[in-house]
Amino acid sequence: MRLWTPTWLPAAALLALAISGCATPPPAGDKEALADYRQTNDPLEPTNRVLFAVANGFNEVVIRPLAVGYVNAVPQVVRSHVHNVLANLNTPTILANDMMQGKPQRAGTTLMRLLINTTAGIGGIFDVAAGLGYPEHSSDFGETLAIWGVPEGPFLYLPILGPTDPRDAIGYGVDIALSPETWLLTTGPEMDLEYAQFGLYIIDIYADLMPDLDKVQQQALDPYATFRSLYRQHRHAQIDAIRNDHAATSPDHWYPERPPAQ
Amino acid sequence: MLTRRSLLIATLPLAAAPVPGWLRPARAQSPAQATQFIDQTAKQLVAIIDAGAPAPQKRAQLQQIIDRDVAVAEVAQFCLGRHWRDATPQQQADYVQLFHRVLLNSIAGHLGDYKGITYTIGRATAGDGGVQVPTVLNRPGQPSANLTWLVANVGGGPKIIDLIAEGTSMRLTQRSDYDSYLNRNGGRVQALLDAMKRQASQSG
């Protein structure tokens, strides 16, 4: 997934510029509508909706058949091992972000996960660390920027990234730069490996999310608005969880009698 | 995280020494009461999911629980936001009725996904909007999920007013869906009602 510059990304960016339109704010007299508009903070909504429709089309035609094939052909046990390996490859990035967020306990957990799963877990195939009291958590540079006080900015819907905002989009780029793979796998065949890994990463995520995505598409009257709301709320919850994590450096299970931290 | 057993122990003093009714604040729910209420509701939901009753019977049982434990009218009004006032009384009544049907369909349609589910209840906390009761859902072969129930005193008793799944509030998400749909349809409440009617008849 690293150092990944598909030739059509500039084309997509140009397309976005070409169709860029701005949402029309409600009249200043309608205070409630204006407040809703500001809260939604989606001034590029017309453009975002076009990209959302394009991404949906692409998902339906390309990603979904692959994900369905993957789910049908590969047993759940194997899929979960594939997921473990991909997650383990991402652990150095998580570790770097845990540290930059100033969360020693989370960083310690991630470091133990990396050490245990890479060795005892045979290159990350088995998530041995979770069973030893080091559960998986996510962490990315978008969250790190949030902890540092950078505002999220307006909502964006981008190719590949899907629902996002400028903070998370920049964070995604920085996370790629933070991954050791970006700097280790640089020759032709190694790059092919990276592309294959990125492809598998997309299929893994999509296969996991497919039932929930389908539910939203079926049940929402405006799926775009629903995804926008879900994305924002989920990100806010993740960032709040990091912000409120004041746990000491020793993992919880060292002191099982300690009351839950709240 | 409280287990069932420690929850039982935690609520024992409540059972042993019931607080006289006139001492209880009229509007507020205590975290302990809310926890007990959610445990009771969740137990009944799990029983419905695990029992092999035919679909129509499950649906009827589910409706009973929703009508008794969820503040459907209040949640519906919240989800319509500022557009509630634009609706005529008849539209408001139709809307609440449709909301009820869509909610029931949506929950009934996904009961199958939760077969074999178990849960643990965490420490409830009282806030401005009500008492938050966190639960962790465990499904066989799947990662555990966090679900927080928001409980408030509505109409003299505890009622569920929101579900927060992995940090996403169902009523806020629904409100944003309806708001966006209405804005794209000239703010006409009737357009929303028509869409909800289609939705209710499709999945019901």
Strands (E), A99-255: 156-158, 162-164
Confidence of residue B14 (pLDDT cuts 50, 70, 90): very low
Question: CA B99 → CA A206, B59, B168, distances in Å?
Answer: 30, 16, 19
Residue B93 has pLDDT above 50, yes or no: yes
**Smallest Cα distance from B88 to chain A, Å:** 19
**Smallest Cα distance from B108 to chain A, Å:** 13
Question: CA A123 → CA A116, A130, A189, A201, distances in Å?
Answer: 9, 15, 20, 16
* pLDDT, tens digit, 9 for 90 and up, residues A28-61: 777 777 877 888 899 999 999 999 999 999 999 9
Q: Global pTM?
A: 0.82
Task: Give every CB contact of residue A26 below 8 A, 6+ residues apart in sequence.
Answer: A33, A34, A36, A37
Residue scoring higher pLDDT (A10 or B95): B95
Residue A162 has pLDDT above 60, yes or no: yes
- Token pair, residue B202, equals 């499709």
Contacts of residue B203 in chain A, CB cutoff 8 Å? 218-219
Confidence of residue B66 (pLDDT cuts 50, 70, 90): very high
DSSP A62: I
When mean pLDDT is compared across A7-16, A79-88, B4-13, the lowest value belongs to: B4-13
CB contact under 8 Å between A221 and B168, yes or no, is no
* pLDDT, tens digit, 9 for 90 and up, residues A168-212: 999 999 999 999 988 888 888 888 888 888 899 889 988 888 888
Binding-site residues on chain B for chain A (CB distance < 8 A): 1, 81-82, 106, 110, 113, 122-123, 125, 141, 166-169, 172-173, 176-181, 184, 192, 195-196, 199, 203
Binding-site residues on chain A for chain B (CB distance < 8 A): 32-33, 36, 40, 76, 211, 215, 218-222, 224-226, 228-230, 233-234, 236-238, 240-241, 260, 262
- Token pair, residue B42, equals 């969740």
When mean pLDDT is compared across A170-179, B4-13, B54-63, B103-112, the lowest value belongs to: B4-13
Average pLDDT of chain B is: 85
The pLDDT, as a whole number, for residue A19 is 53
The pLDDT, as a whole number, for residue B142 is 78
Concatenating the DSSP letter of every residue in B79-141 gives: HHGGGGGGS-HHHHHHHHHHHHHHHHHHHHHTGGGGTT-EEEE---EE-SS-EEEEEEEE-TT
Strands (E), A98-223: 156-158, 162-164
The predicted model gives A5-27 an average pLDDT of 58
- The one-letter amino acid at A64: R
Residue A246 has pLDDT above 60, yes or no: yes
The pLDDT, as a whole number, for residue A2 is 44
* pLDDT, tens digit, 9 for 90 and up, residues B97-155: 999 999 998 888 888 778 889 999 999 999 888 999 999 999 887 778 899 999 999 98
CB contact under 8 Å between A32 and B82, yes or no, is yes
What is the domain partition of chain B in residue ranges? Answer: 14-200
CB contact under 8 Å between B176 and A262, yes or no, is no
CB contact under 8 Å between B180 and A225, yes or no, is yes
Contacts of residue A224 in chain B, CB cutoff 8 Å? 180
- Token pair, residue A259, equals 């009351």
Confidence of residue B24 (pLDDT cuts 50, 70, 90): very low
Q: What is the ipTM of this complex?
A: 0.79
Distance CA B182, CA B191 (A): 7
**Smallest Cα distance from A174 to chain B, Å:** 25
**Smallest Cα distance from A203 to chain B, Å:** 18
CB contact under 8 Å between A33 and B82, yes or no, is yes
Cβ pair B121, B35 in contact under 8 A: yes
**CATH number 3.10.450.710 given to B14-200:** yes
- The one-letter amino acid at B32: A
Nearest by CB to residue B167, choosing from A211, A228, A234, is A234
The predicted model gives A147-172 an average pLDDT of 94
Residue A69 has pLDDT above 80, yes or no: yes
The predicted model gives B177-197 an average pLDDT of 95
When mean pLDDT is compared across A252-256, B144-148, B184-188, the lowest value belongs to: A252-256
Residue A131 has pLDDT above 60, yes or no: yes
